[in-house]
Amino acid sequence: MSSYLESVKKQFRYYRMLAEKSMEQLEAEQLFWQYNQESNSIAVLVNHMAGNMLSRFTDFLTSDGEKPWRNRDAEFTNTFADKNQLMQRWHEGWECLMQTLDQLSGADLETIVYVRNDGHTVTEAINRQLAHYAYHVGQIVFIAKMLKNTDWQTLSIARNRSAEYNQRKFTQDKERRHFTDDL
C-alpha cells in the first residue's frame, strides 16, 4: 500500500507542476482574466483549490473535510491584491495536502474519513481530491493556453513530436517507473 501513497503523491505533484508551469507563462494581470462574469479566472481557481485543500486535509483523519471555518462560496471571488498573494495561498494549500499525505501510512488507507458526513475510506477521499484538482488544473491550463495563444509552451508531448517521444521511451529498458519520473 505504500506504493499507492507514493504514486498518488507523484500524481498530485504532477498536476501542481502543470498548473505552475502554466501560470509561469502568464503576465501577472492575466491570472485575473475572466472570459465572462460566469467564468472563473485562474486566481479564482487557485483560491478555490487552496481553500478546498486546507479544508479537506487539515486534521484529515480526525475531523470532517468540510470545516466549519470554510466559506466555499467566497472562494469563487478574487480576494488577491497581486500575484504574490495568489501564489502564497496556492503554496499554503499544497503544503497542507502534501504534509498530510507524507504522514499517512498504508495502515491508514482503509480508515473512514468524512466529507459533509459522507464516509469515505482514506483511499477514496484521496482519489476524490486527486480527480477534483486535476479537473481544475485542466481549467487553469486551458485558460493559460488561450491567453498565450501561439506563444504557449507545451507542457506535454508537442504536436507532431509523438514519434520522437515514443522512440525515446522505447529505447529505455523495461522497468517499473512512474510516468512522471522523467519529466
Average pLDDT over residues 84-95: 98
Please give the span between the terminal C-alpha atoms of the chain, in angstroms, as a whole number: 24
- Confidence bin at 181 (pLDDT 50/70/90): confident
Q: What is the CATH number of the domain that holds 10?
A: 1.20.120.450
Q: Kindly state the cell numbers that stand for 79.
A: 480576494
177 belongs to a structural domain: no
Q: What is the pLDDT of residues 156-174, one digit of tens each?
A: 988 899 999 999 999 999 9
In the prediction, which pLDDT does 180 show?
81
Domain containing 89: what range?
2-157
Q: DSSP state, 58? A: T
Residue 182 domain-assigned (yes or no): no
User: Above 70 in pLDDT, residue 1?
Assistant: no
Pull the grid cell for residue 170. Answer: 522505447
Note the pLDDT tens digit of each residue in 97-141.
999 999 999 999 999 999 999 999 999 999 999 999 999 999 999
